[in-house]
Structure 1
C-alpha cells in the first residue's frame, strides 16, 4: 500500500462568503431561493406555448402571418433578458481580508478614542463629497468595509451590492449596478409581450365568435380562457412595475433610495447623481458602460492536496542511510552499532594500550615447528 498525492484546482467562487449559489463553474450566480424564479419561467413559457398552439395558427391564416413571428421574437428577447438578469453578478462587493479589517478597526478606534463604559459608540461613517454635496459612507459590520455610495447590504444574499436597487425573487437575484438595465429591459419587454398576447387573445375570440358563437369558440380553444386570466392579472403588476422604474430612471434614483427617502423631504439634500435632465439620466442608466465584476469568482486559489491510498507497491530504488543521532523513529537495523562507531572513532596511527604490555601471540605454524624440535632432541 502507498499514498499518492492528488492536487485539485480550487476556484474562488467555491470559497466566497454569502448566501449565493453558483453553477457552470462559477459562471452563473444566483440567490439560494430560486422557487419563484422557476414560477416566472413556467408562467412566461406556458402562456406563450398556449398562445402559439391555439391562437397563432388561426390568426396567421385569417389575419396576418407576421403575428406569430413577432410574438416569437418578443418571447426570445424576454427570456434572454430574464436569464441575463438572473445569472449575472449584480455588483457584489468583496469582503475585507482579515488584515484589512484589523487595519480599519484600528483606524476607527484611533478616530473615535476610548468610549466610556455605558455610552453608545459613535456611528461608523465617512463623509465624501460628490457634486459639491456631502454623502455619508456607512460601515458594514458583516463585510468589514465602508460601503461605496449607493451600495447596501442585501439581507437575503448576505452581501454588499454596489448601486443596490432591490432583491427581486421573481428573477432569483439581486438587482444592482451590473444587471439593472437588463432587469428594466426584461420588465419592459414582458409588458409588451403581455399586452400583445392579451390583445390578440381578444381578437381571436371575437373573430371566431362572429362565425361559430362565443361558447363554441371557448370549447374549441380552452387555452384561451387561461391565457386571458393570466395576462389580465399579470398586466397590472408588470406594467405598473415598468412605469415605476421608468420614473426612477428619469431621476437617476434607485428603489432603495426612493423607499428610504434619501433625496426627498425638507431636511434632505438634492440627488447628487442626477443630471437634472431626463434624457441624460436615461442615457447614463441604460446606455452607460458595462462595469466588470470585482469578484474574480473564476480565479484560482491555492490548490487542495488530497492523500489517496494505492494498492500497487512502489519499488524502492535507494536505501535510506541512518541518521547520525538515533532517535525513537529510527529502526533498530538502521541504527549504527557501537563497534562500528568505535572503529570509526579510533585513528589508524593510535595503538591500543594492551598491545604495549603483552607480546603478540604466536601463530599456529610456530607452535608446530617447536614441538618437532623437542621430539628430535629426545
Structure 2
C-alpha cells in the first residue's frame, strides 16, 4: 500500500533534544520539573501581598509614604530577575550532528589505536592552554562533543551547559553562562526584600504595641505574625546563598568547580580564569558581554509526516482544482515505502 509524505514546516524548538519545556513558540525555555518554581512564586507574591495589605497602609500614614513605594519597586525588580533567570536559555550547547559525531569518533580511535580486549580504553580528553594553565576538555557521551572549558552536562535537563554553575529547582532552570548574573541579582534583591519586609514588620508591631499592647497587637495583626515567621526562616537561606555566590564571584569560580575542588585540590592547580583581583572578577562576571544563544530555537525546518493515501487524496485533488491559490509550504509525494527526513537543528560543524 502506497504512503503519502506531507512536508510541513515546524519550529526547531519542537525537535530539540534534552528534557526542557518550551512556551510562547520557543521564546521561553525551562526545565520540565517546575514544581518548586511555582512554590517560589507563591512565597514571594504571597508574602509581599500580605505586607502591602496589612503593614503598608499603617506605615505610610504613621511613618512615611516612601515605604510602600520602595517595597513595590524592589518587588518588581525581584520578579523581573526571577523570570529572566527562569525563562532564558542558560547556555545550552548543541549536540553534534551525526556526521560530526562520526568524525570525532574516528579521530578518537585514530589517536588511541587498537585497545586490547578486556582493557578499558583511555579517557576521552583534550588539553587546551588557558592563561598558561593546562585545562582538560572532557568528552560528553550523550552530546557527542568535547565540552568547552567550564561546561558540564546537567543530568536533570539532559543537556551540556556552558559555564555550568548548578541546576536550581527554585528557579526551574539551570544556571549557566547566559543567566548567572540574573540569578545572582535575583538572590541579592530577594535578600534585600526579605530584610526590608522583616524589618518593617517588627517596626509595625512595635508602633502598634505602644498604644494597644504587645499581645493585643499580635491578635489584631495575624498577617504580620505569618510574615515574620516566613521572613525569619527564609532570611537565613537566602542571605547565606547570596553570600556564598558573592564569594564565588570574587574568585571568578562556579558552584560546580567549588564542589569538585577544581582549583583547590591536592595538585594546587591555580584558577586560570581568575584575575587575582576581586574588582576585576566581579566586573567580568556581572558586567561582561551578554552572550547570544547558540540554539536556533525559533528557526524553521521541514518535516515529512506520513499519511495514508486515502486521507491525502481529497486534499491532493482540491489543490489541483484550486491552482489559483497554491500552498508552497506543503509538498505531497507518493512513495512505496515510508521514510522520515528532518533538517538539521543546528548550524553545520561547530568547533570549540
TM-score, length-scaled by structure 2? 0.85
Checking the alignment, whether the CA contact within 8 Å between 2:7 and 2:330 is kept in structure 1 is no
Residues 151, 161 of structure 2: 8 Å contact kept: yes
**Distance verdict in 2 for CA 1:129–1:212, change over 3 Å:** same
C-alpha spacing 1:319/1:107, structure 2 compared with 1 (3 Å) = closer
Q: Does 1:23 align with 2:36?
A: no
SS at structure 2 position matched to 1:48: helix
Deviates more, 1:214-223 or 1:40-49: 214-223
Answer yes or no: is the 8 Å Cα contact 2:85–2:179 preserved in 1. Answer: yes
Q: Is 1:54 matched up with 2:54?
A: yes
Paired residue for 2:308?
none
Quote how far apart the aligned CAs of 1:254 are: 0.1
After TM superposition, what 4+ stretches of structure 1 lie above 4 angstroms from structure 2? 1-7, 303-321, 352-356, 358-361
Instruction: Select which of 300, 324, 329 maps to 1:311.
Output: 324
**1:194·1:231 contact (CA, 8 Å) conserved in 2?**
yes
The Cα of 1:315 is off from its aligned counterpart by: 21
Q: Distance in 2 between matches of 1:22 and 1:137?
A: 30
The farther-off stretch of 259-268 and 139-148 is 259-268
User: 1:202 maps to which residue?
Assistant: 202
- Map 1:287-326 → 2, pairs under 5 A: 287-304=287-304
Residues 7 and 331 in structure 2, CA contact (< 8 A), matched pair in contact too: no
Preserved contact between residue 181 and residue 286 of structure 2 (Cα < 8 Å): yes
Deviates more, 1:214-223 or 1:18-27: 214-223
Matches of 2:246 and 2:260 in 1, distance apart? Answer: 18
Q: CA deviation at 1:263?
A: 0.2
Q: Cα offset for 1:217?
A: 1.2
8 A contact 1:2–1:310 mirrored in 2: no
Question: Residue 134 and residue 2 in structure 1: after superposition, are their counterparts in 2 closer, same or farther (change >3 A)?
Answer: closer
- Using the TM superposition, give the Cα deviation of residue 221 of structure 1 relative to its aligned residue in structure 2, in angstroms: 1.4
Cα 1:46–1:136 shift into 2, 3 Å? same
> Residues 52 and 112 from structure 1, CA distance in 2 versus in 1: closer, same or farther, beyond 3 angstroms?
same
* Counterpart contact for 1:6–1:306, Cα < 8 Å: no
Offset, 1:215: 1.9
Distance change in 2, residues 1:54/1:306 (3 Å): farther
Aligned residues: CA RMSD: 13.0
Q: Which runs of 5+ in 2 are unaligned?
A: 305-317
Distance 1:135 1:72 in 2: 46
Deviation of 1:306 after TM superposition, in Å, equals 13
Separation in 2, partners of 1:316, 1:174: 36
Alpha-carbon contact 1:5-1:308 (below 8 Å) kept: no
1:354 shift after superposition: 68
**How far apart in 2 are the matches of 1:27 and 1:8?**
21
SS in 1 for 2:22: strand
Is the Cα–Cα contact under 8 Å of residues 2 and 311 in structure 1 kept in the other structure?
no
Q: TM-score, structure 1 length as denominator?
A: 0.79
Does the aligned pair in 2 maintain the 1:250–1:281 contact within 8 Å?
Answer: yes
Q: Kindly tell me: are residues 75 and 315 of structure 1, through their superposed partners in 2, closer, same or farther at Cα, counting changes over 3 Å? A: closer
Higher relative contact order (CA 8 A, sep 6+): 2
Aligned length: 332
- Per the alignment, in what secondary structure is the counterpart of residue 269 of structure 2? coil
Q: How many angstroms does 1:216 deviate by?
A: 1.7
Q: CA deviation at 1:26?
A: 0.2
Q: Which moved more, 1:309-318 or 1:149-158?
A: 309-318
State the shift of 1:307 in Å.
14
Q: Pick the structure with greater CA Rg.
A: 1
Shift of 1:266: 3.0
Does the CA contact (< 8 Å) of 2:301 and 2:343 recur in 1? no
For the residue of structure 2 that corresponds to 1:47, the secondary structure is helix
Alpha-carbon distance in 1 for matches of 2:333, 2:156: 59
